[in-house]
Chain A
């Protein structure tokens, strides 16, 4: 069972470069999220989506963009990378229909901006 799959697992970017973190889930979950986690800190919500075609900003959306064209995929776009975006990025999904609230996470994407 694949669950939530994130790619790439590791990436080094130069300042000003752009890239897309890919996230796909095969559980038919309607809700998907992108979080970032800085060393020694909790997870901060970047963007989330409650279904295909719908996205909303979280706590720290600046410098990022998302799209949700299908239920399965929720890519995160970084434009003009900055050192402050060095972090571990987690994609997660859930189906609130069962009210358990369990988030299923990908293994994370470790991004370094130099």
Chain B
């Protein structure tokens, strides 16, 4: 089982749609969880951290289920500018961040 697995995608949605991405991780000792965004041929940038109680940042909501080792990202009212690859990232042993392969989102008008 890969350390961090994500929905394969791509997700093609119209503007205004709600879309959800899922991610599972294999190491139950993982401590920190993040969603990063990567635009084409650019470096990844932090979108949001994921907290145990769930957290929201505008149109973006992240959830963590430690028992199931599962992380999700919900994007409401999708915008054209949300088109990107979304990377699920897990911290192991407090030092190295492990990245999933990413899920590509394409929002069309």
Which residues of A pack against B, CB within 8 Å? 31, 33, 35, 40-45, 48, 50, 56, 58-59, 90, 96, 99-103, 105-108
> 5 nearest interchain CB pairs?
A105-B43, A42-B101, A43-B99, A42-B99, A102-B46
A31 near B95: Cβ-Cβ < 8 Å: yes
Candidates B49, B94, B99, B101; contact of A96 at CB < 8 Å: B94
User: A106 and B43: CB pair below 8 A?
Assistant: yes
Asked if A48 and B95 sit within 8 Å, CB to CB, the answer is yes
A23 shortest CB reach to chain B, Å: 12
Give the residues in chain B near A42, CB-CB below 8 Å: 4, 87, 99-102
How big is the B interface, by class?
A: 20 to 34
Number of A-B contacts (CB under 8 A): 52
Collect the chain B residues with CB atoms within 8 Å of residue A58's CB.
96
Q: Are A101 and B32 in contact, CB atoms less than 8 angstroms apart? A: yes
Query: Across the interface, do B95 and A103 meet the contact criterion of CB distance under 8 Å?
Result: no
Q: Establish whether residues A101 and B91, one from each chain, have CB atoms under 8 Å apart when the complex forms.
A: yes
CB distance from B60 to the nearest CB of A (A): 16
CB neighbours of A103 from chain B (8 A) = 36, 44, 46, 97
Which residues of chain B are near A100, meaning CB under 8 Å? 49
